[in-house]
Amino acid sequence: MDLGILLGFLGTWVLIGWALLASGDVLMFIDVPSMILVVGASATVIMYATPIRYVKSVFAILKKIYFHSSDPVEKLIENMVHYAEIARRDGILSLENTTKDIKDEFIVRGIQMAVDGTDPEMIEQIMSNELENLVERHEIGKGIFDSIGKYAPAFGMIGTLVGLVIMLQNMSDPAKIGPGMAVALLTTMYGALIANAVALPLADRLGRRSSEEVLTKTIIIKGVMAIQSGDNPRIVEQKLRTFLPPAVRRDLEAAKAA
């Protein structure tokens, strides 16, 4: 698991818990009907806002957010240059044996098509189509959590309005006005917590994961196309390093020179 996710999640909820405990009576922040309304309605509205086949994938998406790991981009570029060196030295057909040790299936498919003599335009089209489908799947997954972040505060406000109506119906007893207002506001608090401490951070994290994977696969596509065209490994390295930030490129060049 990414340490940043763990620290961020725990830190956020520890601070929220500390704020609630500082009131002296944490039980006053608990109202079961309000929780059921906000949590339940936020979940059920997703079922008709998003096709059910995508909703079923939420747990797989969460697994990807929390447990996905990938090699640094610098390592990927190093590997692609290594494959280019093999192809340049021993011929592109020699890469067929190399694919047995490659864990990334996307790289394997690209190299295998190149080894099989597939037309370069066809290789790029197939790999680009797979990348586009990946982006679309990620957008759908991110959209689920964005929707929860959008709807949860709305249902919190609905719960508050319901509570206010009930409170106003009992204005004859002043002693009930304060507690009634407090309960009414709890649904707004629950909605804000679900949106800002759960759903929206997960959506942002998934968006960043998607950007990282798009960059990775774009580098792979460019690398495979360069290998297929027989580019010199140094040229392959230069092409792929253009995807790195300038500071990282300078560090790599300095390390190589040393």
Q: What's the pLDDT tens digit per position in 124-172? A: 999 999 999 988 888 888 999 999 999 999 999 999 998 888 888 877 7
Residue 229 has pLDDT above 80, yes or no: yes
**Confidence band for 1, pLDDT divided at 50, 70 and 90:** low
pLDDT tens, 46-75?
Answer: 888 888 888 877 777 777 777 766 778 889
What's the pLDDT score for residue 257?
A: 64
Residue pointed to by tokens 């990348």: 131
**Confidence band for 258, pLDDT divided at 50, 70 and 90:** low
Mean pLDDT, the chain, rounded, equals: 87
**Confidence band for 189, pLDDT divided at 50, 70 and 90:** very high
Identify which of 103, 98, 110, 96 has the alpha carbon closest to the alpha carbon of residue 71.
Answer: 103
What's the pLDDT score for residue 147?
A: 93
Q: Enter the pTM of the model.
A: 0.83
What's the pLDDT score for residue 113?
A: 94
Q: Are 200 and 145 in contact (CB under 8 A)?
A: yes
Mean pLDDT of 241-247: 85
Which tokens go with 65?
Answer: 């957010």
d(CA 239, CA 77): 10
3-state secondary structure string, the chain?
CCHHHHHHHHHHHHHHHHHHHCCCCHHHHCCHHHHHHHHHHHHHHHHHHCCHHHHCCHHHHHHHHHHCCCCCHHHHHHHHHHHHHHHHHHCHHHHHHHHHHCCCHHHHHHHHHHHCCCCHHHHHHHHHHHHHHHHHHHHHHHHHHHHHHHHHHHHHHHHHHHHHHHHHCCCCCHHHHHHHHHHHHHHHHHHHHHHHHHHHHHHHHHHHHHHHHHHHHHHHHHHHHHHHCCCCHHHHHHHHHCCCCHHHHHHHHHHHHC
Residue 31 has pLDDT above 70, yes or no: yes
> Domains of the chain: which residue ranges?
1-26, 31-257
Q: Higher model confidence: residue 108 or residue 100? A: 108
